[in-house]
């Protein structure tokens, strides 16, 4: 039963926010531009539930954009944060907490021999790129269309996520010089990759990739593509960087690299490893990491990097995960995916749920989505906007943008997923997605 929601307080606070902060938000995808209406102003969260300023409750599938794999306010994380806060929040010096989480990550993520913590995913990819350039003494970088690596000048071309909502393929304010050394290639396209590397090989410092893309909907790279990428980069002395900021610790402790058995030279992490606090990290081969200051000549620093509250909370979060939890979470997700895709198939609905373990996205076409061009074809702005509000009215919070992935936490039960499945099916049965058919899409 749909409960009539009152959003008076949210509306009032957001009006104030709009007067003070650009668009009323501190990150563009939060602004509901893609789905219409005003953002809800959140008050608290516990386990799977978000509560807004009018005390409406929502089952959360945005989960701080993938950071909260344990759900909200996990007891161990909260306790670790409180305990650490009471002992002083920031020293700008080495702490025991850093060493513990560093050890855990080095043990679990196959490519990481040495690590550096920073404060966001953006800082991680920006620094990894600088390090790869310093290590190889080469200028160019290859990325892939639709992959988003944070708002790094050099990587903000043909990026998915919020950038896809801009009129042009990149951001204003980035001089051509910053992107002239960036080549953006189609995802999952071995031939173009081979040709490009053959043409520029001695100038390419790094290839950076989301090995499972989560910012153009969820698109796993094929294992043939990642295998070819690993071989080509290895053969030409190019640093291969996996951006696992979204996928790190998502399918299992080892991320995509452990799942595919393909080990990059460097890895960027973020989101989950902070237990909900702001974090980023980059790490990799010891010989590459040794080029970083204070050991080497590549400079990167940060007043708050390795902050004790973040480190202790992140460590508590990673310690709270275990193999059994991953197995159960992934099994629940598989069952949900089978159910919903079975529904689309048997009802001839032009949509499917793409997923990689517990990260998912609804695509408005039947055929699989392999790259950014497909992802754009599979977008359904109006349909997604209607779906988003339908879910909201049913007490379900999804990311307020069509190309973003949504996430399931270890606390979402079969019952939660049944509710989600029911809400999705009701939407499609009631014709909410009506205008979706390939003919209309090609015409528009």
Ligand X SMILES: Cc1ncc(COP(=O)(O)O)c(C=O)c1O
Which of the residues are catalytic? 148, 243, 271
Identified binder of ligand X from the candidate list 121, 220, 251, 314, rule CB under 6 A: 121
State in angstroms the smallest separation of the CB of 23 from ligand X: 17
φ, ψ (nearest 5 deg) of residue 226: -70, -35
**Paired tokens of 220:** 């796993």
Q: How many residues bind ligand X (CB under 6 A)?
A: 16
Q: Which residue among 53, 56, 84, 215 contacts ligand X (CB under 6 A)?
A: 215
Q: How far is the CB of 122 from ligand X (least distance, A)?
A: 3
Residue where the block lists tokens 């938000």 = 25
Q: According to the binding rule CB under 6 A, does residue 276 interact with ligand X? A: no
| 149 sits near ligand X (criterion: CB under 6 A) | yes
Q: For the CB of residue 147, give the shortest distance to ligand X in the complex, in Å.
A: 7
Please give the radius of gyration of the chain, using alpha carbons only, rounded to the nearest integer.
Answer: 21
**Binding of residue 210 to ligand X (CB under 6 A):** yes
CA distances from 180 to 124, 153, 155 (A): 21, 11, 11
The smaller minimum CB distance to ligand X, of residues 229 and 351, is found at: 229
Residue 120 touches ligand X, criterion: CB under 6 A:
yes
**Of the candidates 243, 265, 350, 374, which one interacts with ligand X according to CB under 6 A?**
243
Q: Rounded to whole angstroms, how far apart are CA atoms 61 and 400?
A: 11
* Under rule CB under 6 A, residue 270 binds ligand X: yes
Smallest distance, ligand X to C-beta of residue 150, A:
3
Considering only the stretches 70-78, 181-189, 210-218, 230-238, report the one whose residues sit in contact with ligand X under the rule CB under 6 A. 210-218
Stretch that binds ligand X, among 50-58, 142-150, 177-185, 329-337 (CB under 6 A): 142-150
Tell the smallest beta-carbon distance from residue 201 to ligand X (Å).
26
CA distance 200 to 238: 11
Select 134 or 146, whichever has its Cβ closest to ligand X: 146
Q: Is 125 in the site for ligand X (CB under 6 A)?
A: yes
Residues 284 to 303 in contact with ligand X, rule: CB under 6 A: none
145 belongs to the binding site for ligand X (CB under 6 A): no
From 189-197, 241-249, 299-307, 417-425, span contacting ligand X (CB under 6 A): 241-249
CB 260 within 8 A of CB 211: yes
Work out which of 238, 245, 272, 273 binds ligand X, going by CB under 6 A: 245
Q: Is 122 in the site for ligand X (CB under 6 A)?
A: yes
CA atoms within 13 A on the CB side of 223: 7
**148 contacts ligand X (rule: CB under 6 A):** yes
Residues that bind ligand X (CB under 6 A): 65, 120-122, 125, 148-150, 210, 214-215, 243, 245-246, 270, 280
């Amino acid at each position: 039963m749909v409960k009539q929601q009152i959003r008076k307080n949210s509306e009032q606070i957001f009006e104030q926010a709009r007067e003070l902060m650009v668009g009323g938000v501190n990150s563009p995808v939060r602004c509901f531009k893609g789905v219409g209406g005003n953002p809800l102003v959140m008050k608290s969260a516990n386990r799977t539930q978000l509560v807004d300023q009018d005390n409406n409750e929502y089952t959360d599938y945005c989960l701080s954009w993938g950071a909260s794999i344990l759900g909200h306010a996990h007891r161990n994380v909260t306790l670790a944060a409180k305990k650490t806060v009471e002992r002083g929040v920031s020293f700008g010096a080495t702490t025991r907490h850093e060493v513990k989480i560093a050890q855990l990550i080095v043990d679990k993520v196959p490519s990481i021999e040495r690590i550096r913590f920073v404060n966001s995913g953006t800082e991680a990819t920006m620094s990894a790129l600088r390090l790869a350039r310093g290590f190889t003494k080469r200028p160019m970088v290859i990325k892939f269309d639709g992959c988003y690596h944070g708002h790094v000048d050099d990587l903000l071309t043909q990026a998915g996520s919020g950038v896809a909502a801009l009129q042009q393929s990149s951001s204003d304010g980035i001089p051509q010089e910053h992107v002239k050394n960036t080549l953006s290639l189609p995802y999952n396209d071995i031939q173009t990759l081979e040709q490009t590397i053959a043409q520029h090989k001695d100038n390419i410092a790094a290839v950076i990739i989301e090995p499972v893309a989560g910012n153009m909907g969820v698109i796993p790279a094929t294992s043939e593509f990642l295998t070819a990428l690993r071989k080509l980069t290895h053969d030409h002395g190019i640093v291969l960087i996996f951006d696992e900021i979204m996928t790190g610790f998502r399918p299992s402790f080892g991320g995509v690299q452990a799942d595919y058995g393909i080990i990059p030279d460097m890895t960027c992490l973020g989101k989950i490893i902070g237990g909900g606090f702001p974090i980023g990290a980059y790490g990799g081969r010891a010989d590459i990491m040794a080029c970083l200051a204070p050991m080497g000549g590549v400079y990167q620093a940060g007043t708050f990097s390795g902050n004790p509250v973040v480190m202790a909370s992140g460590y508590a979060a990673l310690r709270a995960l275990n193999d059994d939890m991953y197995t159960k979470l992934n099994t629940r997700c598989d069952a949900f995916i089978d159910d919903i895709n079975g529904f689309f198939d048997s009802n001839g609905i032009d949509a499917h749920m793409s997923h990689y373990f517990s990260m998912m996205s609804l695509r408005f076409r039947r055929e699989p989505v392999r790259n950014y061009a497909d992802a754009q074809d599979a977008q359904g702005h109006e349909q997604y906007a209607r779906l988003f509000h339908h879910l909201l009215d049913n007490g379900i919070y999804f990311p307020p943008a069509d190309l973003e992935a949504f996430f399931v936490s270890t606390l979402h039960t079969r019952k939660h997923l049944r509710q989600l499945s029911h809400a999705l099916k009701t939407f499609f049965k009631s014709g909410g997605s009506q205008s979706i058919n390939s003919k209309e899409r090609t015409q528009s």
